């Protein structure tokens, strides 16, 4: 009998892995300001909202994976992917799994033990349905398969490492709010060996911004949670990570790093339209409805104060 760690949805396939050292390279993208958008989860209204924010800021955009998830309706799948792929993009576990036919990895989420078995099985079912939709778009599927797993950017002289999961795996959980609380030393070691000032990630669904002391100075790990779903109790907006020279008046929280600010900005999408669309694709009793509708309607049991963990000498901004 296989161990639970070997079940679909519970493990990181070996081709998901890389070394933190891969980030010690020249930046491929240089920008004055940058939005990093993880976990759009097929929400077209959030896509529209975050692109409007970036355009207003004249900022570059990187989608760092899982821009697909609930978009099983073919026209919606096509619209999301054709728009996202006009920008820099990394593949998340969702894009990786729908681009291929490997049934053994399930959703590729590598869910840790604190996520229940029923939820993992539902994720595998969602992935199977989304893969069926993706089969109708071979060109998009090939494009998703060829996307990179990580990117190094430079903004205002700071080195920004961008990945979907963590510094070692596309679906790693070391940069989750839970792991950063329990094992900050591991995250700090990743920052040092990668030679990175800011690691921007997503995948684990809850946002966190945590500061670390490294030989390069203060470094940050910033996980935007989800751009396409609420991240805090009783809210109806997603989050994106913004890196720029001047603070945004809309930022919920952030930190100053040298001449730059790194912020969590709300992605204020049309909630009523989104939940109506979600309900049409995923009616009551469906796997996505059982796993996600409550969060989309009411937000998770998580508060802004839990997300910001900036240590001295990084200075927290006070826009909350
Ligand atoms: Fe993910």
Ligand 1 geometric centre to CA of 65 (Å): 7
Q: Supply the pLDDT for residue 320.
A: 42
Q: Supply the pLDDT for residue 313.
A: 43
Strand ranges of the sheet holding 158-163, from the earlier edge strand across to the other edge = 29-31, 150-155, 158-163, 198-201, 217-223, 208-214, 308-309
Q: Supply the pLDDT for residue 104.
A: 77
Q: Supply the pLDDT for residue 216.
A: 82
Cβ contact 189:205 at 8 Å: no
pTM of the predicted protein model: 0.94
Ligand 1 geometric centre to CA of 193 (Å): 23
Ligand 1 geometric centre to CA of 107 (Å): 9
Ligand 1 geometric centre to CA of 203 (Å): 4
How far, in Å, CA of 16 to CA of 92, rounded? 10
Ligand 1 geometric centre to CA of 109 (Å): 6
Ligand 1 geometric centre to CA of 68 (Å): 10
Ligand 1 geometric centre to CA of 38 (Å): 9
Ligand 1 geometric centre to CA of 170 (Å): 8
What residues contact residue 151 under an 8 Å CB cut-off, 6+ apart? 28, 29, 62, 64, 88, 90, 161, 162, 163
Ligand 1 geometric centre to CA of 171 (Å): 6
* Residue ranges, the chain, pLDDT below 50: 1-4, 312-313, 318-320
């Amino acid at each position: 009998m296989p161990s639970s760690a070997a079940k679909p949805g519970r493990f990181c396939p070996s081709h998901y892995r890389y070394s933190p050292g891969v980030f010690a390279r020249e930046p491929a993208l240089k920008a004055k300001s940058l939005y990093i958008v993880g976990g759009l989860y097929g929400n077209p209204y959030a896509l529209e909202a975050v692109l409007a924010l970036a355009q207003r800021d004249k900022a570059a955009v990187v989608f760092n994976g899982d821009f697909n998830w609930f978009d099983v309706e073919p026209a919606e799948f096509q619209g999301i992917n054709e728009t996202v792929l006009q920008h820099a993009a990394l593949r998340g576990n969702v894009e990786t799994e729908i681009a291929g036919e490997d049934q053994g990895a399930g959703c590729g989420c590598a869910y840790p033990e604190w996520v229940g078995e029923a939820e993992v099985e539902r994720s595998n079912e969602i992935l199977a349905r989304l893969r069926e939709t993706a089969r109708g778009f071979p060109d998009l599927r090939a494009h998703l398969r060829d996307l990179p797993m990580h990117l190094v950017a430079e903004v205002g002289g700071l080195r920004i490492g961008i990945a979907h999961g963590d510094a070692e795996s596309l679906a790693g959980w070391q940069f989750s709010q839970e792991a950063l609380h329990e094992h900050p030393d591991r995250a700090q070691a990743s920052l040092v060996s990668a030679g990175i000032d800011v690691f921007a990630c997503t995948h684990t669904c809850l946002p966190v911004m945590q500061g670390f002391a490294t030989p390069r100075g203060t470094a940050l790990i910033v996980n935007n949670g989800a751009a396409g779903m609420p991240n805090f109790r009783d809210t109806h907006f997603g989050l994106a990570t913004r890196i720029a020279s001047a603070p945004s008046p809309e930022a919920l929280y952030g930190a100053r790093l040298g001449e730059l600010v790194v912020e969590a900005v709300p992605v204020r999408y049309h909630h009523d339209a989104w939940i109506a669309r979600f309900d049409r694709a995923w009616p009551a009793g469906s796997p996505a409805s059982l796993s996600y509708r409550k969060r989309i309607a009411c937000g998770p049991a998580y508060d802004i104060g839990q997300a910001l963990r900036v240590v001295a000498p990084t200075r927290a901004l006070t826009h909350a």
